[in-house]
Amino acid sequence: MDYEDVIVKKPWGHEYLCYRNEMLAIWFLHIKKDQRTSLHCHPNKHTGFVVLQGVAELSFLRGTMRLKGLEKVHIFRSRFHSTRALSDDGAFILEIETPEDKHDLVRLEDAYGRQGKSYEGKESQSPKCDDCLWIGEPGEEGSYSVFKGCSIRHFRPESTEGMLNFLEQDFFVVMRGGIQAHVDAQILWPGDVIDGVSLRRLAKGFELIPDTTLLHIKGEL
């Protein structure tokens, strides 16, 4: 199913697709205050979260953690997790899934009675509105946006030298390519989320894969 032109309504808020390529997809989620996603896992894909605005609490089978904008987390395949919004306006989140598959979903518990059920169908869809985020390819329309208090830029670094000045508050999603120690040892992959300091250290020591593109997310001053 092609989700490119729809908003998917959820009992906790809504979500919609804002980018896809052959390796990954990025979704925008708005979770309303005190609402939560199901306790679920993805058996075949990895997930990355970047909180753009608000505060979210992630719960696992054991333990919880809080994320605020701009903070990130990786959730590896098959790890059960649930996300609850704590802030008054809810939590605004970018979710990166690698590979794209909305039906790679197993629900264990759900406050809205959806445990054991699959992803929402067409009855939960409505057309996208004009203010929905869409991330374009580098140099194309939509490659730069200001959204939910953040600047979001999709760009193609020319070399590792251009990646040495980023700070801890800079966040990046690898969209294509990545960084490798040598041709058989890739260490940063599409779908990975990394802060600017970590990216800078890797760029100093290793090679940029040709045609790499990155999504740069930074809070607006």
d(CA 16, CA 30): 9
| Residue pair 57/34 in contact by the 8 Å Cβ criterion | no
d(CA 60, CA 179): 30
- Closest of 66, 17, 65, 24 to residue 48, by C-alpha: 24
pLDDT of residue 162: 82
Characterize 109-145 residue by residue with b for buried, 16 or more Cβ atoms within 10 angstroms of its Cβ, and e for exposed: ebeeebeeeeeeeeeebeebeeeebebebbeeeebeb
Cis geometry, peptide bond prior to residue 70 (ω within 30 degrees of 0): yes
Tokens standing for residue 87: 């802030």
pTM, rounded to two decimals = 0.95
d(CA 180, CA 187): 5
Q: Express each pLDDT in 85-130 by its tens digit.
A: 999 999 999 999 999 999 999 999 999 999 999 999 999 999 999 9
Is residue 217 exposed (0-12), middle (13-18) or buried (19+ Cβ within 10 Å)? buried
Mean residue pLDDT of the chain comes to: 95
What 3-state class would DSSP assign to 178?
A: coil
Whole-number percent of the chain with pLDDT over 90? 91
Q: Which amino acid is it at 214?
A: L
Find the farthest-apart pair of alpha carbons in the chain and give their distance in angstroms, rounded.
Answer: 51
Mean pLDDT of 134-160: 95
Question: Which domains does the chain possess?
Answer: 6-127 (2.60.120.10), 144-219 (no CATH)
d(CA 3, CA 174): 22
What 3-state class would DSSP assign to 163?
A: helix
pLDDT of residue 221: 58
Is pLDDT of 74 > 90? Answer: yes
Whole-number percent of the chain with pLDDT over 70? 100
Mean pLDDT of 59-65: 97
pLDDT of residue 152: 97
Is pLDDT of 190 > 70? Answer: yes
pLDDT of residue 208: 94
